[in-house]
Structures are given as C-alpha cells and as structure tokens.
Amino acid sequence: MVDHLTGELIACHECDHIYRVEPLPPGAKATCSHCGGLLYRNIPNSLERSLALYISALILFILANSYPFLSLEFSGRVVVNNLLEGGLALYRMGMGELGLLVFFTSILFPLAVIAGMIYLLSGALFMERLPPAAGLIYRIIHAVDSWSLVSVFMLAVLIAIVKLQDLANVITGTSLYALIGLLIIYSAARASFDPRALWSFSTARAPVNPSNLGVVLTCHACGLLHDGEQGAAECRRCNASLHRRKVGWRRHLGGVRVVVDPAFRQRGLASRLIDELIDIATREGLERLYAEIPAENGAALDVFRKQGFLEVARFERNVIDPAGTYHDLVVLNLDLA
C-alpha cells in the first residue's frame, strides 16, 4: 500500500536529517543514522489491524464507563463508584481544575483519539480515500494523544486499592477489568498504526528539490516536506503549521546585524530593532544570538551591551575596511535559553 512512497524525501522527527524512503521487509524499521530516531516502519496490514484494535478499544471504553468501577464496603455500607466519580468528587471538594484535568486525560482525550482513529481508518479502508476533514481530525489526535493518560490513571487506581485494603473491603467491578483490557488494546493499536499507510491515500506529495534542502519546511504533524521558496505557511496535506528544519551545527544560533541610516540615528531605533530580533529568535527556539562588530565602533558596542550582549572574544587585525586598514573584531553573545 505504501510502495508508491518509495523514493520520497522524509525528515527525521528528532534531528530533521533528510532521507529518501527505501522499501523495507515486513516487520523491519528504518532509523536515523545521526541520532538513532525512528524514521518509519513496515507494518503488514497496518490499517486493518489498527482499525480492529481501535474498535475493540471503543467497546472496552463503553464497558468501562457503563459498569461499576470500584465498590467500598465499610461497616455494612457499600459505596459504588464509576469512572466519572473521580473527577466529580474532586470538583465537589473545591478542586475543579484538578477534576477537569482528570476528566480530560482519562476520559475525553482517550475517547477523542479512539473515535478519531476509527473515523480516519474506516474512511481510508472502505472508501479508499481520506474522509472529509481528515487533516483536522489527524491534527487533533496528534495534539491530544500524548495527554491520553489511561496508564497513569490505572496506576493511580492500583495504588488506591492497595492503600484502601486496610480501611475497607474493596470490591472490584466489571469496569476495572474493562479498563485493564482498554489499556492493553489501546497500546497495541497505537503500536500497530503506520501513518505512512494512512497518508498513502492522500494525493499531496513532497516536491522538494534535493539540491536545495536548506529551504525545506517540515510539517510536525504528518511529516510532509515542503519547498520553503514557495512561501507556504500550512501543510497542504493536513493544514498544520510548517516549521523550519533544524539543520547544521549552528542551528541553535542566530546572527544579528543592525544598520540604521545616518539620518535616523540617535533615536533609539537600533535598540528597538534588537529587541524585536530577540523576540523573534525566542519564538523560533534559538538558544543564542551573536554579533560581530569592529572594535572601533564604540556606539554599536554600547547599544548591544545595553541589550544584554556580553563580549566573548576579540580577534586582532581580523577585518579590513574599504580603505585597506585592519581592525580588531569583537564578538558578543546573548544567551536566550
């Protein structure tokens, strides 16, 4: 199903190194030779297996929320609880924010992932094309999947059972066993899913020039590469925001050079421009800014120092002006991280 993707360019999710897709034997995986990150896998019948597992997970999810979860017997009195009781109890105790967090991470987000994956997989398998709004659904799944903390909730339940044994008789309900099954099936479904198999139904491809990889943009949701020279801001496959690739040993650095027309100097424009560049660099995830200034340009050095730049090196007779005179070069750094 994904054979026609052979030869396409992909980027490592960890270090953004570029590779060309090569065919793999069933069950094999390709890893990055630079950082060891997983590039892609060849999972036989990935979509069919994933759909079956996600449907099973949905059935178990319904059972887990339909039957009693835990019952506590104390002095002849039996208190029955279900999954929703945890968040509601925290809300009634005045911890509404924590109750909402428990509800979202243990019920709403897992349900959204399961229902969304069933929608995408069933559409791809039965209609042989991506269903409507597939990009939006996939972005939602990609955003909330890491917050689907069924395993953490299950661990908290086991700890509570152990601690309550000395205080009351704990009676496990059908919901608890359904939750255990949900945790196993949900993990298996995630492990069986190959995103390449799903996106093979998309007509969007990565027309990237292999000789100009420095301007390639990456979609962090679906992994599609884009030509940065085309000026696109959103992925044409899933409509997620595009990001610059992290390339080279200096990818965490940003060079700063500010030039102000002589007629507009002494008005604070240079400081404002540097402030704006610092904000942009911070948003882009850079760790350090540097500036290289001739030692004789005292005014520029003072402006950068007032903005927090520190002198880290001075190279004697390193630059030449138009008249052919050598000057010392001062290097200043500003740490952003």
The 10s digit of each residue's pLDDT in 273-331 is 999 999 988 887 788 999 999 999 999 999 999 999 999 999 999 989 888 899 999 99
Which whole number is the average pLDDT over 62-72? 83
Residues 159 and 277 in one domain: no
CA distance 2 to 15: 24
Q: Which domain holds residue 35?
A: 3-43+200-244
The per-residue pLDDT for 111 is 94
Residue 78, pLDDT > 80, answer no
The tally of domains found in the chain comes to 3
238-268 confidence digits (pLDDT tens): 888 887 766 666 677 888 989 888 888 888 8
In DSSP terms, which residues pair with 163 in a beta bridge?
A: none
Least confident of 12-21, 172-181, 188-197, 320-329: 12-21
Per residue in 83-126, pLDDT (tens digit) is 777 778 778 888 888 888 888 888 899 999 999 999 999 999 99
**pLDDT bracket for residue 59 (50, 70, 90):** very high
pLDDT of amino acid 240? 86
Predicted confidence (pLDDT) per residue in 218-239, tens digit: 888 888 887 766 666 788 888 8
Of 207 and 124, more confident: 124
Tell me, yes or no, whether 236 and 286 share the same domain.
no
- pLDDT of 38 higher than 60: yes
Residue 219, CA atoms < 13 Å, CB-side half-sphere: 25
The CATH number assigned to the domain holding 297 equals 3.40.630.30
Domain identity same for 278 and 235: no
Co-location of 25 and 151 in the same domain? no
The model's confidence at residue 182, banded by pLDDT at 50, 70 and 90, is very high
Q: Specify whether 211 is located in the same domain as 305.
A: no
Angle at CA of residue 236, ends 234 and 240, nearest 5°: 40
